[in-house]
Amino acid sequence: MSSPANENKMGVLPVGKLLFSMSVPMMLSMLMQAFYNIVDSVFVSQISETGNELAALTFAFPLQSLMIAFGGGTMLGMNTLISKSLSRKDRDSADRAAGTGLFLSVCTSLVFALIGIFLSRLFFETQTDIREIVDLGTSYTTICLGGSIGLFGQFCFERMLQSTGRTMLSTITQFAGALINIILDPILIFEKGAVIFDGAFTMPVGFGMGVAGAAVATISGQIIAAIMGLLFNIFLNHDLRLRFKNLRPHGESVKEIYKVGLPSIIMQSVGSLTTFTLNQILREGFKEVAVTVYGMYFKLQSFIFMPVFGLNNGMIPIISYNYGAKRPDRVKKTITLSIITAVSIMTVGYAVFLITPDTLLSMFNPNAQMLEMGRSCLRLIGLSFIPAGFCIITISVTQAIGNPFFSLITSACRQLVVLLPAAWVLSLTGNLWAVWLAFPIAEVASLALSIIFLTRTMKTANKEMGKVN
């Protein structure tokens, strides 16, 4: 049996210190990712006052979120399997999980590249009849999906680093990718001499690619981050050995990866479908301008949600490791501290949305109509933030310790059973602000299910770890 000195830090460090060290770098990097996500929209909104460029990015979001669903869900399964294997001191299984995860990432990126190249225009034509939005959106998604190997590679190599406790290295790759995107965005989007941000800045150099430039900047950052992640895993991650012989679909590893990852993929894909459908509800009832406003909200809320997701990413390997090591005290304490932190972040976020909506929305160069719509959007949807903090953590807990379908049921009920029907019914009132109320209504339903499923999950987990309450 290994001595404590040789045990992975996830089994020996005090839980509070461990969660802090694992999560804070991820939270900071996720904040950078939030800035990364919003910067395309901020720069694109400066191209013209029509809002069509920003609308194109908003309509494109369901496809992008579908990529994230497959990449994030698959790598969640890989992350969990690696952590559990290492907790059992089974390094060969961990290596096979890493190789299988990389193989699955490459295959999935090829599928999305084909979707981007051949189906992007059809995707936009089903959403709007405004030709400029269709053309801009087609250009953007063709590039983003066509170059998706960077996104999936980044997901894969970062999760390998996280699963072995090397969150700082993962953070460095994310910062690098985001920084590249931020630097390239204005250079590629605007022409030399273009005046942006109400005359506050003039581009000294630029290629004038417009929305396509934003897409090229995005995939450039992702590809560089993926390359860095690969090098970090090869030279600095000594808990994993990336070998060509493992770069294949190992049957048992695939099964275990998708046992955890498939519910997450389905859950996030449901989110993509929800966004797509909600865009149609808003467009039919309130025209493309309402879709654009919803897009502005979605970008802004990432500043609140991304740190919580970063907390999640730091929490999951801790729970997986200690669950595999049969340490119920550490599992319970990790969950408690994570919930308290997530709810606190969400509370602060809602306060900012409630007090300063105009300041936040001004980043997108909105006209008077967009600004008026945006105020109610931020203030009313923001009501859902606090319960959402609790739900995000509990959903990940059920995924990390073997009850992933609980999270799937919760997400499906929240979005398909409550959110979309409520949004459609409330849209019939003719009041856009009423549609925004569908979000807090749905989150209350999600909260109730989350409490029930967390209780059941922990009861089963305690029995598995040899402790019955």
Dump pLDDT digits (tens) for 88-136: 889 999 999 999 999 999 999 999 999 999 999 999 999 999 999 999 9
Which of 105-119, 255-269, 405-419 has the largest mean confidence? 105-119
Q: With 60 as the cut, is the pLDDT of residue 409 above it?
A: yes
Q: How many Å apart are CA 469 and CA 465, to the nearest integer? A: 11
Q: With 60 as the cut, is the pLDDT of residue 63 above it?
A: yes
pLDDT value of position 327: 86
Q: How many Å apart are CA 85 and CA 90, to the nearest integer? A: 5
Local structure of 204: helix, strand or coil: coil
Q: With 90 as the cut, is the pLDDT of residue 139 above it?
A: yes
Q: Tell me 425's DSSP state.
A: H
pLDDT tens string 6-44: 566 777 788 888 888 888 877 887 787 777 778 889 999
pLDDT value of position 146: 97
Residues 354/379, Cβ–Cβ less than 8 Å? yes
pLDDT tens string 348-385: 999 999 999 999 999 998 889 999 999 999 999 999 99
Is residue 1 very low, low, confident or very high in pLDDT (cuts 50, 70, 90)? Answer: very low
Nearest CA-CA partner of 399 in 31, 74, 14:
74
Query: Residue 232 falls within a domain, yes or no?
Result: yes
Residues 390/447, Cβ–Cβ less than 8 Å? yes
pLDDT value of position 469: 44
Q: What percent of the chain has pLDDT over 90?
A: 63
Tally of helices (H runs) and strands (E runs) in the chain:
16, 2
**Residue 94 exposed, middle or buried by CB count within 10 Å (0-12, 13-18, 19+):** buried
Query: Residue 122 falls within a domain, yes or no?
Result: yes
Q: Which domain holds residue 199?
A: 13-464
Query: Residue 97 falls within a domain, yes or no?
Result: yes
pLDDT value of position 268: 83
Local structure of 240: helix, strand or coil: coil
Nearest CA-CA partner of 379 in 326, 446, 440, 338:
440
pLDDT value of position 3: 43
Query: Residue 469 falls within a domain, yes or no?
Result: no
Q: With 90 as the cut, is the pLDDT of residue 208 above it?
A: yes
Q: With 50 as the cut, is the pLDDT of residue 4 above it?
A: no
pTM for this one?
0.84
pLDDT value of position 402: 65
Is residue 313 very low, low, confident or very high in pLDDT (cuts 50, 70, 90)? Answer: confident
Local structure of 429: helix, strand or coil: coil
Residues 61/204, Cβ–Cβ less than 8 Å? no
Residues 272/62, Cβ–Cβ less than 8 Å? yes
Q: How many Å apart are CA 14 and CA 327, to the nearest integer? A: 13
Q: With 90 as the cut, is the pLDDT of residue 390 above it?
A: yes
pLDDT value of position 295: 92
Is residue 260 very low, low, confident or very high in pLDDT (cuts 50, 70, 90)? Answer: confident
Q: With 80 as the cut, is the pLDDT of residue 399 above it?
A: no
Q: With 60 as the cut, is the pLDDT of residue 84 above it?
A: yes
Could you tell me which residue, 440 or 249, shows the higher pLDDT?
440
pLDDT value of position 7: 61
Q: What's the whole-number mean pLDDT along residues 203-231?
A: 96
Nearest CA-CA partner of 341 in 9, 10, 11, 15:
15
CB atoms within 10 A of CB 399: 28
Q: With 60 as the cut, is the pLDDT of residue 5 above it?
A: no
Q: Residues 6 or more apart from 287 whose CB is under 8 A from it?
A: none
Query: Residue 431 has which token pair?
Result: 């009041």
pLDDT value of position 174: 86
Q: How many Å apart are CA 392 and CA 308, to the nearest integer? A: 8
Q: With 70 as the cut, is the pLDDT of residue 280 above it?
A: yes
pLDDT value of position 6: 56
Q: How many Å apart are CA 208 and CA 189, to the nearest integer? A: 5
Q: Residues 6 or more apart from 449 whose CB is under 8 A from it?
A: 409, 410, 413, 414
Q: What percent of the chain has pLDDT over 70?
A: 97
**Residue 128 exposed, middle or buried by CB count within 10 Å (0-12, 13-18, 19+):** buried
Q: 202: left (phi > 0), else alpha (psi -120 to 50), else beta?
A: beta
Question: Based on the structure, what is the number of domains in the chain?
Answer: 1
pLDDT value of position 2: 42
